[in-house]
Amino acid sequence: MSGLGIENISMRFDLPNGGSVQALKNVSLHLEAGELMSVLGPSGCGKTTLLNIVAGFLAPTEGKITLNGHQVVGPDAERGMVFQQGALFEWMNVRDNVSFGPRMKGQKPAEYEDNVNHLLEIVGLGDFKEKAIYELSGGMQQRVALARCLANDPDVILMDEPLGALDALTREKMQSLVLRLWKETGKTIILITHSVEEALLLGERLLVMAPRPGRIHKEYRLPFADLGVGQDLREVKKHPDYNATREEILAMIWDMEEEIMGRTEATS
Amino acid sequence: MTGFLILLVYVAIFAGAYFAVKFLVRGARKDFTSLKTVTFGDESAVVSNRSASIISILTIFLIWGAFTGSKMVPGFLQAPGPFVGETEFVYTLDDGNGNRDDATVFVRVYDFGEDAAQFDVAPGDGFAKDDSLSMNASRSKTILFDKNDEVKRKEGAQVIAIDGQTIGPNIDLETDKGRFALTDKGAISYTPPLGVQMDPVYLPPPEAVVSRLIEISSEGYRGSDLLTHLGYSLFRVVGGFFFGALLGIPLGYAMGLNGWFRGWFDPIVEFMRPVPPLALIPLVIIWFGIGETGKIILLFLAALWIMAIAARSGVSGVRITKVHAAYSLGASKWQIMRHVIIPNSLPDIFTGARVAMGVCWGTVVAAELVAASQGAGMMIMVASKFTLTDIVLMGIILIGVIGFGIDMLMRWAERVLVPWKGKG
Ligand SMILES: Nc1ncnc2c1ncn2[C@@H]1O[C@H](COP(=O)(O)OP(=O)(O)OP(=O)(O)O)[C@@H](O)[C@H]1O
Ligand SMILES: [Mg+2]
C-alpha cells in the first residue's frame, strides 16, 4: 500500500503528578503520495504531537504509522521536517546546511553540488551560499530550511508552522514558494498552521482538529491549492467558495476555543 | 594621612577631568545614541568613555609618581617629599646645678637608599659641645649628644630646650625643622619633616619598579631569569588546564548524554565545584610535594570541574529541534554528536575555558606563594620577606598583565572559532 497511513493513533502523556493528558484519540488518516494537507485547530489540540509521531520522534500509545507499506519506528530521511525556527545549524554556512542530508549519507560534493545549487536558486538564495545563518533574515532562514529538507529528497515533508514567525508579505511569498515546490517535486506534505487563510491556500486537503482529546473534527477537499500554483494568491482569494469556507472554519474554531475557555473557567 | 590625601586627590581628578572633558568635547557625538532621549536606565546607551579610560590610567601613574617622588613627574606636581639636605638645631643643656649652655647639632639628611656618611664638626665652646648627625630621609635617629659634652646625662645633665622652645621627658616638640622628643634616658630623638610622600619601603616610585624589571630580566632573581619564572607559571597553568579540559570535556559530554554517568558523577562534581582550589593546596603538597607534579595536579583539579560543568551545560543547551532536524535528515547518533552536539556546545565550552584559565592563573600564583622554587608567585613571596617592595609590585603588575593577556587571547580565539556564539 503506498502513501502515508495514520492508523488509529492515540497518545496519552503521563504527567509527573500522576494525572495524564489525552493529546490524541483514535486519529486515522490516509495520504496518497503527492497530496498536500494542511492542519488547523485550536492551540493544544495535538497538532504538533501528531506531527512528531509521524516524524518518528514520539511513539504513539496506540496505533501505528505506515509509509509505503512499512511501519514507522523512528526518525528517518524519508520523512523530512521543517520547523518553525531555530532548527538550522548556525555553525555551518547556508550551503553546508542545505547539503547536510547528502553529506550524512556519505555523498561526495560532486554528487550533491548541482542539486544543492539548483535548490538554492529555486528558493532565491543563489547569492547567499557562503553566508552564515545568523546573517540571514527570518524569511531567508526558512527558505534555507525548506531547501535543506528538499536536498535530502524525502518522500514526506512535515512542516510545523513553518511560516508562523514571518511578516505578512514574506509569508505570502513563501506560500507561493511552497505551492510551487509541491507541484514541481510531487512530495507528500503535511503543513500545520494557525492561519485559516494559509490552511485554505496551501491545503489540497484541510484537516480541522478538535481538542480534549485531540481528534479529527472535519476534513475538507479544496480547489485553492491547485489554483494557486501558477497564479497570484490574491486572485485565488477571489474564488466564490473561498470566503464562505473561511467563515465556516473560523466559526468552527471559534466555537472550540470558546468551549475550552468556558471549561477552564469552570474548573478554576 | 597620606592615604586620605591620595583618595582626595583621586576624587578631585576624577571629577575635574569629567568636567574638563565634557567642556572640551561638548556636542562631539553625533551617532544614533545621541538622539535617544531616554538614556538613564537604557544600558545600551551607556558607552564606555574612551577619554575617561585614558585619563584613568594616566591618573594612576601620576598619583603613583607624585606621591613617591618619581623623577618622571615634573616637580610642580610632586607631593611634598620628606626633607633631604642639611639643617641644624640648637639644644640647651642644664648641668643639673642650674648652669646652662647651648650647643648646635648639624644634621645631614640623605635620600632613601643613599649612604648616610658620618662627618665631623668643630666642638665649639662651653660645656655643651656641637654634634654632627647623618641620617636617611623619613627615619628617626637618636642623638647621644653628651658623648662629647663635659657633663653627662648620668651626672644629671638634661636637655631643657630645642631652638629655645621647651622640651622635656613628657613634652615633645614639633617645629618646621621636624619632630623632637626625649628618650627615656634623656637622649634627643629627631625626625626630619616627613612630607606626604609614601615611604619607598611601602611604595617605591614607578622608575624603581621599571629598573627592577630591567635588572631582573637581565640578571634574574633567585637563580632563574624573569622569563623562566613566568614561563614556569604559564607552563603549569597550560599543563593543568590541558589535562583538566582533556578529561573534563568528555566527562561533561558523558554527563549530558547518559543518565548513568550523570547520576554517578553529579554528586562528585557538585561537591567539588564549590571547594576553592586554594583549599586543596595543603593536601596536594602532602600528597605530591611541592614539585611540578603537585602543581599541575592542583591546576588540573581546578580546571576539571569547571570544564565538566561547561561541557555538560553545552550539551543540555542544544535545542531539541536541531537534534530532531538532524535525525530526520538521516544523521546517525555519531553524526549528531559530531555535527550538532559538539559544535553547539563549543560556545559554552569556551566560556568555561575562559573561567578555568582565570581560576588556574589565580591558583598557580597562590600555590607558588606557598611553596615553589620558580614562578611569579614565588618571586613576590621571597621579595616580600626582604621588603623588596619594588619586586613585589613588579611581580603583581606582571601577573595582572599576563592574566589579562590570557583572557584577551581566549576572547580572540572565541571570536574566531565560534562566531555564532549567542546568535542561535
Ligand atoms: N511532553 C509532553 N508532556 C505532557 N503533555 C504534553 C507533552 N507534549 C504535549 N503535551 C500536551 O498535549 C496536548 C497537545 O499538545 P500539542 O503541542 O500537540 O498541541 P498543538 O496543537 O501543537 O498546540 P499549538 O497550536 O499551541 O502548537 C497539550 O495539551 C499539551 O499540554
Ligand atoms: Mg504545536
Please provide the average confidence, as pLDDT, over all residues in chain B: 88
Distance CA B198, CA B203 (A): 6
Looking at the fold, whether B49 and B118 belong to one and the same domain comes out as: no
For residue B330, give the nearest of A76, A83, A133 by CB distance.
A76
Looking at the fold, whether B364 and B407 belong to one and the same domain comes out as: yes
- Per domain, the residue ranges of chain A are 4-78+156-267, 86-153
Peptide bond into A213 cis (omega under 30): yes
Distances (CA, A) of B319 to A89, A91, B312: 10, 14, 14
Residues of A within an 8 Å Cβ radius of B: 55-57, 74-77, 79-81, 83, 86-91, 100-101, 104-105, 132-134, 148-149, 152, 154, 158
Q: Is residue B422 part of a domain?
A: no
Distance CA B298, CA B285 (A): 9
Q: Is residue B197 part of a domain?
A: no
Q: Is residue B42 part of a domain?
A: yes
Distance CA B230, CA B406 (A): 13
Asked if the C-beta of B27 comes within 8 angstroms of chain A's C-beta atoms, the answer is: no
Secondary structure element (H or E) that encloses residue B25, with its range: none
Which amino acid would we find at residue B390? Answer: D
Distance CA B308, CA B356 (A): 11
pLDDT at B27 over 70: no
Looking at the fold, whether B232 and B326 belong to one and the same domain comes out as: yes
Asked if the C-beta of B325 comes within 8 angstroms of chain A's C-beta atoms, the answer is: yes
Going by C-alpha positions, the residue among A50, A85, A92 that lies closest to residue A209 is A50
Distance CA A8, CA A39 (A): 17
Looking at the fold, whether B382 and B263 belong to one and the same domain comes out as: yes
Looking at the fold, whether B220 and B182 belong to one and the same domain comes out as: no
Say which residue, B152 or A51, is predicted with more confidence: A51
pLDDT digits (tens, 9 = 90+) for A25-68: 988 999 988 899 999 988 888 899 999 999 999 999 998 999 88
Query: What pLDDT shows up at residue A101?
Result: 92
Going by C-alpha positions, the residue among A97, A90, A88, A91 that lies closest to residue A119 is A97
Q: What percent of chain B shows pLDDT beyond 90? A: 44
Q: Is the dihedral of CA B323, B324, B328, B329 positive or negative?
A: negative
Q: Please give the full DSSP string across A81-143, using - where no structure is assigned.
A: EE-SSS-S-TTSBHHHHHTHHHHHTT--HHHHHHHHHHHHHHTT-GGGTT-BGGGS-HHHHHH
Decide: residue B332, CB within 10 A, 0-12 exposed, 13-18 middle, 19+ buried: exposed
Looking at the fold, whether B243 and B368 belong to one and the same domain comes out as: yes
Going by C-alpha positions, the residue among B137, B13, B138 that lies closest to residue B66 is B13
The enclosing domain of B300 has a CATH number of 1.10.3720.10
Number of helices (H) and strands (E) in chain A: give both, helices first.
Answer: 10, 10
**B329, A76: Cβ pair inside 8 Å?**
no
Looking at the fold, whether B280 and B148 belong to one and the same domain comes out as: no
pLDDT digits (tens, 9 = 90+) for B158-168: 888 888 888 88
Given the candidates 1.10.3720.10, 3.40.980.10, 3.40.50.300, 3.40.50.2000, the CATH classification of the domain at A4-78+156-267 is 3.40.50.300
Map A14-73 to HEC letters.
Answer: ECCCCCEEEEEEEEEEEECCCCEEEEECCCCCCHHHHHHHHHCCCCCCEEEEEECCEECC
**Which of B191, B216, B244 marks a domain boundary?**
B191
Asked if the C-beta of B335 comes within 8 angstroms of chain A's C-beta atoms, the answer is: yes
**Which domain does B166 fall in, by range?**
85-191
pLDDT at B416 over 60: yes
Distance CA B79, CA B75 (A): 9
Residues whose CB is less than 8 angstroms from the CB of residue A110 and which lie 6 or more positions away in sequence, other chains included: none
Query: What pLDDT shows up at residue A263?
Result: 64
**Which of B165, B191, B217 marks a domain boundary?**
B191
Measured distance between the N- and C-terminal CA atoms of chain A, rounded to whole angstroms: 48
pLDDT at B402 over 90: yes
Query: What pLDDT shows up at residue B405?
Result: 94
Query: What pLDDT shows up at residue B308?
Result: 95
Q: Is the dihedral of CA A141, A146, A148, A149 positive or negative?
A: positive
Nearest CA-CA distance, residue B421 and chain A, Å: 9
> How large is the average pLDDT for residues A226-237?
78
Distance CA A53, CA B196 (A): 80
> How large is the average pLDDT for residues A74-100?
90
Going by C-alpha positions, the residue among A4, A50, A5, A6 that lies closest to residue A211 is A50
Q: Are B160 and B166 in contact (CB under 8 A)?
A: yes
pLDDT tier for residue B253 given thresholds of 50, 70 and 90: very high
User: What number of C-beta contacts closer than 8 Å exist between A and B?
Assistant: 75
**A75, B322: Cβ pair inside 8 Å?**
no
Q: Are A22 and A211 in contact (CB under 8 A)?
A: no
Looking at the fold, whether B91 and B239 belong to one and the same domain comes out as: no
Which amino acid would we find at residue B88? Answer: E
> How large is the average pLDDT for residues B360-380?
89
Atom 11 of ligand 1, nearest CA residue? A23
Number of domains into which chain B is organized:
3
Distance CA B320, CA A57 (A): 11
**Which of B27, B60, B77 marks a domain boundary?**
B77
Looking at the fold, whether B218 and B344 belong to one and the same domain comes out as: yes
Asked if the C-beta of B343 comes within 8 angstroms of chain A's C-beta atoms, the answer is: yes
Instruction: Point out the ligand 1 atom lying closest to the alpha carbon of residue A194.
Output: 25
> How large is the average pLDDT for residues A122-146?
89
Residues with CB under 6 A from ligand 1: A 13, 21, 23, 41, 43-49, 214
pLDDT at A268 over 60: no
Number of helices (H) and strands (E) in chain B: give both, helices first.
Answer: 12, 9
Q: Are A100 and B339 in contact (CB under 8 A)?
A: yes
Q: What percent of chain B shows pLDDT beyond 70? A: 97
Looking at the fold, whether B239 and B357 belong to one and the same domain comes out as: yes
Query: What pLDDT shows up at residue A264?
Result: 60
Query: What pLDDT shows up at residue A102?
Result: 93
Measured in angstroms, how far is the CA atom of residue A21 from the centroid of ligand 1? 9
Residues whose CB is less than 8 angstroms from the CB of residue B196 and which lie 6 or more positions away in sequence, other chains included: B1, B2, B5, B67, B79, B80
In this structure, what C-alpha cell is assigned to residue B28? Answer: 562631539
Measured in angstroms, how far is the CA atom of residue A45 from the centroid of ligand 1? 7
* Chain A environment of B340 (Cβ under 8 Å): 89
Asked if the C-beta of B339 comes within 8 angstroms of chain A's C-beta atoms, the answer is: yes
pLDDT digits (tens, 9 = 90+) for B54-107: 999 999 999 999 888 888 888 888 888 888 889 999 988 888 888 888 888 999
Query: What pLDDT shows up at residue B33?
Result: 65
Nearest CA in chain A to B335: A104
Query: What pLDDT shows up at residue A144?
Result: 92
Looking at the fold, whether B257 and B181 belong to one and the same domain comes out as: no
pLDDT at B311 over 90: yes
Looking at the fold, whether B101 and B232 belong to one and the same domain comes out as: no
Q: Is the dihedral of CA A55, A56, A59, A65 positive or negative?
A: positive
